[in-house]
Amino acid sequence: MVNVKKRIPWVDLMETIAMYLVVLYHGTIYAENSELDKCLMYFFRTIISTSVPIFFFVNGYLLFNKNCDLKKHILKTIRLILLTGIWAVITLGLLMVIKSEYLTFSDMLKYLWTWKLGWLNHLWYMGALVCIYIFFPLLKVVYDTNKKIFIYFTVVCAIVTFGNSLMNVAATVASCLLNMGDTFYDVNFFNMFNPLRGIYGYTFVYFCFGGMIPLIYDRIVSIESKKRNRIAMVGLLINLFLLFGIGIMYSNLLDEMWDVAWNSCGTIFTFLNVFFIFVLCLNFNSENKLISTISKNTMGIYFLHELFIQLTRPSIMSNPLLCNFFVNIIYAGLIVLVSLAFCIGLKKIPGIRFLLK
């Protein structure tokens, strides 16, 4: 069982990396002024696809390897639903002021129900997490009593999600080679036999695989660290280039920019990259004050960061000198730190701290 009261350095680092990448994705400010710029920026976005999957991976590692109190878990799940709803209302109200776009009551209800793109769609993670939490007590019983069945479930989930996306890529490549002109992007090849259709099914794989890490942890750390790091780095780079190639292929075929950061979350390549990032983070074995503080406040930062992005991005993008990749890296870091500062400050206010935990 995992001692959740004690900080785990590699967990803190992975959550910090994930939070930074989420902010970097949502806070894009750079302009692509040349074909070279476009290629470089697009390649960099391939690593961003690991951001939210890392959170599911770490969540699974922590939850599966500690005791599960059903009553507390149910209350926690209900609390997550209520927090998401409350923050959706708060975010919608504040964004109306920031954007100077005041919605009618009916539009507000519509935006809340549909998680409107550009307003509330960043909260999709909470919905996916709640779906996992609903099934978690059942998965936990299987995990504790029969690892073979648990592995079977994880593998099946991987086949109908990562396998399905790989089949789309393979079919598209074959179509190009045969000059058929067909593009396969989100075809459900398993049709009605896919039990995870219609939801973010791939999140179950990251979550369950995180729970399986203790089963292979000793084997991984037994590999000499330099060799382990080389394998992880080479694997990471290979997958990034593969995602880059897939993204370019789809962008050309669809005649529009294929969002490689978002659309790659459900691919085997991003899954492997999450694992390689985990392996590299194992080198981090001492607690760092800033990293552990960010890790402890990721929920609050997640809820707050979009507000600060919407508040500051228009001013930054009005200055062409600031719209570049290097400024974007600094900007994302500042948004994380500002959100962290506000999160810590708000937690000190009675009656509000529960919104950020």
The Cα 107–Cα 335 span in angstroms is 29
Per-residue model confidence (pLDDT) at position 237: 96
Domain boundaries, the chain: 9-356
Q: What is the pLDDT of residue 183?
A: 81
pLDDT of 341: 96
pLDDT number for residue 1: 55
pLDDT in 10s for each residue of the chain, 357 residues: 555 557 899 999 999 999 999 999 998 887 666 666 678 888 989 999 999 999 999 999 999 988 989 999 999 999 999 999 999 999 999 999 998 888 888 988 998 888 888 888 889 999 999 999 999 999 999 999 999 999 999 999 999 999 999 999 999 999 888 888 778 878 888 888 888 877 788 999 999 999 999 999 999 999 999 999 999 999 999 999 999 999 999 998 888 889 999 999 999 999 999 999 999 999 998 888 999 999 999 999 999 999 999 999 888 888 888 888 888 899 999 999 999 999 999 998 888 888 887
pLDDT of residue 155: 94
pTM for the model stands at: 0.91
| Cα of 58 vs its chain's centroid, Å | 11
CA 79 to chain centre: 21
Cα–Cα distance measured from residue 344 to residue 325, given in angstroms and rounded to the nearest whole number: 29
User: Between 35-48 and 225-254, two packed helices, what is the crossing angle to 10 degrees?
Assistant: 120
The Cα 202–Cα 53 span in angstroms is: 9
Residue 290's φ and ψ, nearest 5 degrees, are -65, -45
* Whole-number pLDDT of residue 190: 87
User: Which spans in 49-189 are helix H?
Assistant: 51-64, 70-99, 105-114, 124-145, 147-158, 164-177
Asked whether 301 and 356 are in contact (CB, 8 A), the reply is no
3-class secondary structure per residue, 310-357: HHHHHHHHCCHHHCCHHHHHHHHHHHHHHHHHHHHHHHCCCCCHHHHC
